[in-house]
Amino acid sequence: MRVWNKSAWREKPRVQMPDYSDSELLEKVEAQLLRYPPLIFAGEARNLKVHLGAAARGEAFLLQGGDCAESFEQFSADRIRDMFKVILQMAMVLTYGAKVPVIKVGRIAGQFAKPRSDPTEVQDKQELPSFRGDIINDLTFCPESRRPDPNRMLWAYTQSVATLNLLRAFSTGGFADMNRVHAWTLEFAKGEGAEQFQEISSRIQDTIDFMAAAGITADTTHEFSTVEFYTSHEALLLEYEEALTRVDSITNQWLAGSGHMLWIGDRTRDPEGAHVDFIRGVLNPIGLKCGPTLTPDDLKRLLAILNPQNEAGRMTLITRFGTGRLADHLPKLIRAVKEEGADVLWVCDPMHGNTTKSSTGYKTRSFNSILSEVREFFCVHEVEGTVPGGVHFEMTCDDVTECTGGFRPITDDDLSSRYHTVCDPRLNASQSLELAFLIAEELTNYRSVLTHL
């Protein structure tokens, strides 16, 4: 294969990326980004790779979650804090079920660019370019707003830096103390209708009490009060990714400095395409979205291109088929991976295959379909003897009404009341935590099957 360089993707077909009309401004922005510091360090990306390698062997479990698309308008310190809080709560509940460390990766500090099924959108007989995420254009439906503006890359960079700065402070500054995290969860389980979650909550409390009695507390034990938190996003806007790609001075390898883990979307995974060409050359752990149209042969090709050395932790396969469809699709891909002897981490994204239109006209997803897809994922992996190594969600800390269902049920009629997403429907904080509890039960069953083998 041709020697990689970080600009060679430009010779490949340009899909799902904007056509910037002002090339002078684009070059100016790229040159500016090139001078800016990377957001992350190579050592962090390597550490995450080691953890993901462990998850592929069943020795850890990945929780990846966050907004479908981060937004400039909804950016605030409180939202970063609350998103971090929900992810920590989910991780703690999942740790209880998985009995292995949970790796926490946010769709955050860079998750701005969106692939779209339709290049244009029609409203009141007017046709305009689709909204492609705040890093590219603006959601407002008018020609000026929808024009791609290179300056938005600088704003997205600034927001990402500020977000990651706060996340780093929260990770080590006392906010992540397990006692605090569990106190929030206990509060949730005390709410009306949440009785079903009290048993797991009180078992976690017993464990914390037991450890405290044995002298393991936030004061004595680093792991009790700090967390490792990683960032991830879809590597879609390659001008932005290329400008933040730098040589790691320790290994001389290339690092995508925009986030710890990058993934390739289901619409941009053409083995001959620009996105695959760019991402193959960076050292970061990478995700590959696997939807119903991915053939076993293409998966084999992609694994050969993206991870020729079969390095552990490099490849995370994020499956997103839609509930009821896993038995048709997943076993074929698992067998392809087995035939290649490829080392991969299997993760379930139960969001993107389960998008529907509600009776009231909103794009939505039902809680039950999301949960069913996760259950099918566990079931197929049990049958195939492979490891279900993680979950991937679109979620928010806010009390939105975007996905239906949950124990505090949201109906089709409720969707209009707090539908705030700029792209896909997200689980709200309560639905996210509820899902974590139900998956923890699933994981408990899975572990008990393992121990009886």
**Residue whose beta carbon is closest to ligand PEP:** 265
The candidate with the shortest Cα–Cα distance to 344, out of 381, 308, 380, 312, is 312
Q: Which is nearer to ligand PEP, 133 or 406 (CB)?
A: 133
Residue 306 near residue 290, CB atoms below 8 Å: no
Listed residue (73, 34, 43) closest to 159, CA to CA: 73
Q: How far is the CB of 303 from Co ion (least distance, A)?
A: 24
| Residue 49 interacts with, from Co ion, ligand PEP, none (CB under 5-8 Å by kind) | none
Distance, CA of 161 to CA of 234 (rounded, Å): 17
Q: Quick check: 152 binds ligand PEP (CB under 6 A)?
A: no
Tokens of 407: 């124990």
Residue 289 interacts with ligand PEP (CB under 6 A): yes or no: yes
Q: What does the block give as tokens for 277?
A: 């060409």
> What b/e sequence results for 43-64 when a residue is b if at least 16 CB atoms lie within 10 Å of its CB, and e otherwise?
ebbbbbbebbbbbbebebbbbb
Give the binding range for ligand PEP (CB under 6 A) out of 1-9, 47-55, 76-84, 260-268: 260-268
Question: Would you put residue 385 in left (φ > 0), alpha (ψ -120 to 50) or beta?
Answer: left
Place of tokens 């462990």: 54
Provide, rounded to whole angstroms, the least separation between the CB of residue 425 and Co ion.
Answer: 9
The residue type found at 319 is T
Quick one: DSSP state of residue 281? T
Distance CA 69, CA 420 (A): 11
User: Among residues 67 and 242, whose Cβ is nearest to ligand PEP?
Assistant: 67
- Window 23 to 62, contacts with ligand PEP (CB under 6 A): none
| Alpha-carbon span 346 to 382, nearest angstrom | 12
The single-letter DSSP state of residue 7 is: T
Q: How far is CA 427 from CA 300, 404, 424, in A?
A: 33, 9, 10
Q: Which of 66, 110, 115, 259 binds ligand PEP (CB under 6 A)?
A: 115
Residue 220: alpha-carbon gap to chain centroid: 32
Establish if 424 lies at the interface with Co ion (CB under 5 A). Answer: yes
Please, which residue, 356 or 444, has the CB nearer to ligand PEP?
356
Distance CA 24, CA 28 (A): 6
Choose the binding region for Co ion from 135-143, 232-240, 288-296, 424-432 (rule: CB under 5 A).
Answer: 424-432
Query: Does residue 26 bind Co ion (CB under 5 A)?
Result: no
Q: Between 317 and 443, whose beta carbon lies closer to ligand PEP?
A: 317
Rounded to the nearest 10 degrees, the angle between the axes of helix 77-98 and helix 151-172 is 50
Region of 94-102, 262-270, 323-331, 399-407 interacting with ligand PEP (CB under 6 A): 262-270
Span from 67-75, 89-97, 247-255, 262-270 in contact with Co ion (CB under 5 A): 67-75
* Sequence letter at residue 54: A
Residue 388 binding: pick among Co ion, ligand PEP, none (C-beta 5-8 Å cut-off by kind): none
Least gap, CB of 263 to ligand PEP (angstroms): 7
Among 133, 265, 287, 313, contact with ligand PEP (rule: CB under 6 A): 265
Binding Co ion (rule: CB under 5 A), the pick from 17, 54, 62, 68 is 68
Interface with ligand PEP (CB under 6 A), residue from 42, 54, 63, 68: 68
Neighbours of 118 (CB within 10 A): 8
Minimum distance of Co ion from residue 369's CB (angstroms):
15
Binding residue for ligand PEP, selected from 70, 241, 266, 442, defined by CB under 6 A: 266
Residue 67 makes contact with Co ion by CB under 5 A:
no
- Residue 320 as a binder of ligand PEP (CB under 6 A): the answer is yes
- Residue 113: CB minimum distance to Co ion, A: 11
Helix (H, G, I), strand (E, B) or coil at 408: coil
The amino acid at residue 88 is L
What string marks each residue from 210 to 239 as x (binds ligand PEP by CB under 6 A) or -?
A: ------------------------x-----
Q: How many other CB atoms are there within 10 angstroms of residue 147's CB atom?
A: 16
352 binds ligand PEP (CB under 6 A): yes
For residues 234 and 434, which CB has a smaller minimum distance to ligand PEP in the complex? 234
Q: How many Å apart are CA 109 and CA 162, to the nearest integer?
A: 8
Complex with ligand PEP: residue 96 or 112, whichever CB lies closer:
112
Question: What is the rounded CA–CA span in Å between residue 420 and residue 402?
Answer: 8
CB nearer Co ion, residue 90 or residue 236: 236
* Residue span binding Co ion (CB under 5 A) among the ranges 55-63, 241-249, 292-300, 422-430: 422-430
Q: Rounded to the nearest 5°, which phi and psi values hold at 255?
A: -115, 130
Binding site for ligand PEP (CB under 6 A): 68, 115, 234, 265-267, 289, 291, 320, 352
Binding site for Co ion (CB under 5 A): 68, 424
